[in-house]
């Protein structure tokens, strides 16, 4: 039996296209990417989902973001004044293929300045053991424009 985290890694992995960044500074915090975003602004980055499955079936993923833990049905809760959207929101990953989705992060003028650990989550629709988890990203919201180029 494969646990939930290993199940996800067995199906796909997540890769970041750092050069596609627009609107925020990118850095690394531990093993996770960190984006620094000026309050009241937005930024985008392309995220690739790479098939790791040895099965000959496509993987259907529904993508969303939350600050609330891992697991199937984790609510899409984000800090007030922050929105995170994927485009497209649902992807189909064929065996031995990679597919991308554009991750857009927006902060409103009244968003709380601070650092947030955001789970970029997904639900695998077509497997009996619906897997969750697509990676994590640190979001640092700042008011100083000198911290964002």
Rg (CA), the chain: 16
**Per-residue pLDDT tens listing for the chain (149 residues):** 333 444 555 677 888 888 888 998 888 888 888 889 999 999 999 988 888 877 788 888 888 887 765 555 555 678 889 998 999 999 998 988 999 999 999 999 999 999 888 888 787 887 655 655 667 888 889 998 887 76
- CA-based nearest residue to 10, from 87, 95, 68: 95
Q: How far apart are CA 90 and CA 101, in angstroms?
A: 9
- Alpha-carbon span 74 to 87, nearest angstrom: 20
Separation in Å, CA 86 to CA 44, 51, 100, 145, 146: 10, 18, 10, 25, 27
Locate the domains of the chain by residue range: 4-144
Domain over 4-144 is classified CATH 3.40.50.10470 = no
Percent of residues in the chain assigned helix, strand, coil, to nearest 5: 5, 55, 40
Q: What is the pTM of this model?
A: 0.81
Token code pair at residue 43: 């930024």
């Amino acid at each position: 039996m494969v646990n939930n985290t290993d199940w996800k890694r067995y199906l796909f992995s997540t890769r970041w296209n750092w050069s596609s960044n627009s609107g925020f500074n990118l850095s690394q915090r531990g093993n996770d990417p960190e984006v620094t975003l000026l309050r009241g602004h937005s930024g985008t980055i392309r995220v690739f989902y790479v098939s790791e499955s040895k099965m000959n079936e496509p993987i259907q993923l529904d993508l969303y973001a939350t600050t609330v833990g891992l697991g199937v049905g984790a609510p899409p809760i984000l800090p007030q004044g922050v929105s995170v959207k994927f485009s497209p929101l649902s992807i189909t990953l064929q065996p031995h293929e990679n597919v991308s989705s554009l991750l857009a992060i927006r902060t409103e003028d009244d968003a709380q300045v601070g650092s947030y650990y955001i789970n970029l989550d997904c639900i695998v629709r077509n497997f009996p053991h619906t897997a969750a988890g697509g990676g994590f990203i640190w979001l640092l919201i700042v008011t100083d424009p000198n911290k964002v180029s």
